[in-house]
A and B are shown apart, each in its own frame.
Chain A
């Protein structure tokens, strides 16, 4: 009996350690890349021979680095502006997506405002390969003067991610017994109060999860940001793409930016970790 247990646990541990090593490897490689000078980017050494901070510096003080080290390259601005842009655009867009998604699917389930097909219809926003949509939306936005604006990207992001909120929240809301809401109504609550006091607290986990996923999704989105922004509303991910110089892709700088840009999602994940595990609750006992 006991031997069995010990064996199981060691196997478990070994597996976990194995998976950890494999999984952390690309991350570690990225970190190492970000500290390597450009001549080492293609190298196979894990530890940088010449540890350098120029990649990170290039993100904030591009002119000096580029002129002296990279030769003639496309001049890339500091990442402060893109950082702010990303922060604003993604947060607002995610918030919008979750709120609209929630109320939409709530209405669909409790008030039958939409059928499954209509909800499916929103899912179709995720089925179209982006490439050919780029040009039309560019033209459209140009016409609306929304090019290179935060608002433009916010609208687009929320439109294409609202379906995530809908489908992720659908399961949660369906799990809430309608009798609980009906009881509140019998006690005199208006429908809005029911929403506020009964439904939302119960669906809190789902809201948190949806927000997290959609946030990450928008935060790392590339193509549309690339096409719809240029200087003013440029986001962090687009910035990464701009690091293409005369020597090809500036991997080290991209890696540095990747690591920096991963910080907000990581912080957010840490904050909501408590809610995440209890988030996707399914199945009440009674």
Chain B
């Protein structure tokens, strides 16, 4: 090893641990503590006086229908949303690989949603899907002649889909950007070599470009998937989890538990369970996909 390797090694270990532990460990420990006690801010006693109840919160969570439904719903959402985002991102990258005028404008239009505060995205889509909003009054009127009276956000299925479209609008650009950058920077020589050997553009895409960006794709999907699982802002603003609890994703449920029902201990326990499950699934995903 050369000179300075020790300081590099130190710097590569100390700052990050310092950051993680000083900022997160204590609140996290607090959270764990909360999950093992029964604490309700409205109950009158302080949090350090809360009675110890062991694993009760966790047992309750596993029997909690609403919790299980929220998990399933969120998983479904993630699968659909991230899957569609990947697919759309791929199609868009393919489109962009060809030559045409106005590429820059097209890219700007596509990427703009990434720059907006998520709250605003939620609000805008909330209004768009309103009964008197543009979906009914403009689009469908133009297509079918009369404006239907559907309250999109009042029906569970359509509300769920509405949320997915909001997420798609916002995050497909993320996928697109990563995929496109990767695809367009495959070395030209490899493409030429394939061309000369007889491959058509389609074959080049599937056999050369796409396989070469596999590691990139996996990271993108995992990162995006993790974020998608925690989706909160858009759901809360568009439907508040409703109608009823039919669009309640896990983050929304936990939020309600903690902030609305003040059942913060239980909320902490639920969060930890989610952390565990998500952690195991993604660990497995990383191990398998990213040898």
- Does residue A168 face the partner (Cβ distance < 8 Å to B)? yes
* B215 engages A108 (CB within 8 Å): no
Q: Is A237 an interface residue (CB 8 A)?
A: yes
Q: From the candidates A125, A130, A194, A277, name the one contacting B184 in the complex (CB within 8 A).
A: A277
Given known A27-B109, A155-B23, contact A131–B116 (CB-CB < 8 A):
no
The chain B residue with its CB closest to the CB of A276 is: B181
Minimum C-beta distance from A253 to chain B (A): 10
Inter-subunit contact B7/A135 (CB<8 Å): no
In the bound complex, what is the Cα–Cα distance between A140 and B136 (angstroms)? 48
Which residues of chain B are within 8 angstroms of A223 by Cβ–Cβ distance? 232-233
Across the interface, B119 reaches (CB within 8 A) one of A114, A125, A240, namely: A240
Within 8 A of B (CB), among A122-137: 122-137
| Complex CA–CA separation, A114 to B12 (angstroms) | 9
* Any B CB within 8 A of the CB of A7: no
Binds B, one of A37-45, A51-59, A66-74: A37-45
From residue B28, how far is it (CB to closest CB) to chain A in Å?
Answer: 7
B26-66, CB < 8 A from A: 26-28, 30-31, 34, 47
Q: Which residues from chain B contact A133 at a C-beta distance below 8 Å?
A: 27-28, 31, 271
Mark each residue of chain B from 92 to 131: 1 if its CB lies under 8 Å from any CB of chain A, else 0.
1001001010100010111111111111110111011010
**B198 touches A (CB below 8 Å):** no
Q: 1/0 per position for A62-86, CB-CB distance to B under 8 A? A: 0000000000000000000000000
Residue from the set A191, A254, A280, A284 with the largest chain B CB neighbour count within 10 Å: A280
Establish whether residues A30 and B117, one from each chain, have CB atoms under 8 Å apart when the complex forms.
no
Contact A12 B98 (CB under 8 A): yes
Q: Mark B217-244, 1 if CB is under 8 A from A, else 0.
A: 0010001001101101100010000000
CB–CB A29/B134 < 8 A? yes
| A129→B271 contact, CB < 8 A | yes
Are A240 and B120 neighbours in the complex by a CB distance under 8 Å? yes
- Out of A15, A43, A46, A132, name the residue touching B95 (CB < 8 Å): A15
Return the contact of B116 from the options A29, A137, A262, A278 (Cβ within 8 A): A262
B12 with A103: CB separation less than 8 A? yes
- Tell me, rounded to whole Å, the shortest Cβ–Cβ distance linking A115 to chain B: 12
* Contact residues, B249-274 vs A (CB, 8 A): 250-251, 254-255, 257-259, 264, 267-268, 270-271, 274
Distance between A78 CB and nearest chain B CB, rounded to angstroms:
17
| Per-residue interface assignment for chain A, residues 176 to 198, with 1 indicating a CB less than 8 Å from any chain B CB and 0 otherwise | 00000000010001111111000
- Asked whether, in the complex, the Cβ of B120 is within 8 Å of the Cβ of A30, the reply is yes
Contact of B187 among A105, A262, A283 (CB under 8 A): A283
The yes or no answer to B177 lying at the interface (CB within 8 A) is yes
Least distance between B2 CB and chain A CB atoms (Å): 5
Across the interface, do B127 and A33 meet the contact criterion of CB distance under 8 Å? yes
CB proximity to B under 8 Å, residues A272-286: 276-285
A271 at the interface (CB under 8 A from B): no
Separation of A13 and B101 alpha carbons in the complex (Å): 10
Q: A108-B12, A192-B8 are in contact. Are A130 and B19 (CB under 8 A)?
A: no
B149 contacts the other chain (CB 8 A) = no
Q: How many Å lie between the Cα of A103 and that of B192 in the bound state?
A: 37
Expressed in whole angstroms, the minimum distance between the Cβ of A93 and any Cβ of chain B is 11
Interchain CA distance A214-B88 in the complex, whole Å: 23
8 interchain pairs (CB within 8 A)?
A15-B95, A100-B16, A125-B24, A127-B275, A131-B255, A249-B123, A266-B112, A278-B185
CB-based closest 8 A-B pairs: A107-B12, A44-B137, A258-B120, A136-B27, A280-B181, A136-B30, A265-B115, A191-B4
| Chain B residues packing against A (C-beta within 8 Å) | 1-5, 7-9, 11-13, 15-16, 19-20, 22-24, 26-28, 30-31, 34, 47, 92, 95, 98, 100, 102, 106, 108-121, 123-125, 127-128, 130, 132-134, 136-138, 169, 174, 177-178, 180-182, 184-187, 189-190, 212-213, 215-216, 219, 223, 226-227, 229-230, 232-233, 237, 250-251, 254-255, 257-259, 264, 267-268, 270-271, 274-275, 278-279, 282-283, 286
Known pairs A127-B282, A213-B174. 12 more at Cβ < 8 A?
Answer: A103-B8, A124-B279, A127-B230, A130-B232, A132-B254, A136-B28, A140-B27, A159-B24, A222-B117, A223-B232, A258-B117, A282-B182
